[in-house]
Amino acid sequence: MKAAMFIEPGKMVVEEVAKPTIEQPTDAIIKIVRASVCGSDLWWYRGISHRDANTLVGHEAIGIVTEVGAEVTDIQPGDFVIAPFTHGCGHCAACLAGFDGDFLNREAGGNGGYQGEYLRFTNANWALVKIPGQPSDYTEDQLKSLVTLADVMATGYHAAASAEVKSGDTVVVLGDGAVGLCGVISAKLRGAKRIIAMSRHEDRQKLAREFGATDIVAERGAEAVAKVMVLTDGNGADAVLECVGTEQSVDTAVKVGRPGAIIGRVGIPQDPNMNTNELFFRNIGLRGGIASVTTDDKQLLLDAVLSGEINPGKVFTQSFALADIQAAYEAMDHRTAIKSLIVVSD
d(CA 200, CA 217): 8
Task: Answer yes or no: are the C-beta atoms of 82 and 138 closer than 8 Å.
Answer: no
Dump the DSSP string for 297-336.
IIIIIHHHHHTTS--GGGGEEEEEEGGGHHHHHHHHHTTS
**Number of alpha carbons in the 13 Å side-chain half-sphere of residue 110:** 24
Rounded alpha-carbon distances, angstroms, from residue 12 to 42, 301, 316, 338? 12, 32, 20, 19
pTM: 0.96
Identify the DSSP state of 116. B
Low-confidence ranges of the chain (pLDDT < 50): none
> What confidence score (pLDDT) does residue 110 get?
54
Q: What is the pLDDT of residues 232-260, one digit of tens each?
A: 999 999 999 999 998 999 999 999 999 99
Residue 159: φ, ψ to 5°: -65, -45
Going along the chain from its start, the domains and CATH numbers come out as 2-151+292-343 (3.90.180.10), 156-288 (3.40.50.720)
pLDDT value for 109: 58
Half-sphere exposure of 86 (CA within 13 A, CB side): 33
Measured distance CA(240)–CA(253) in Å, rounded: 6
Q: Rounded CA gap, 191 and 193, in Å? A: 6
**Dihedrals φ, ψ of 201, to 5°?**
-120, 125
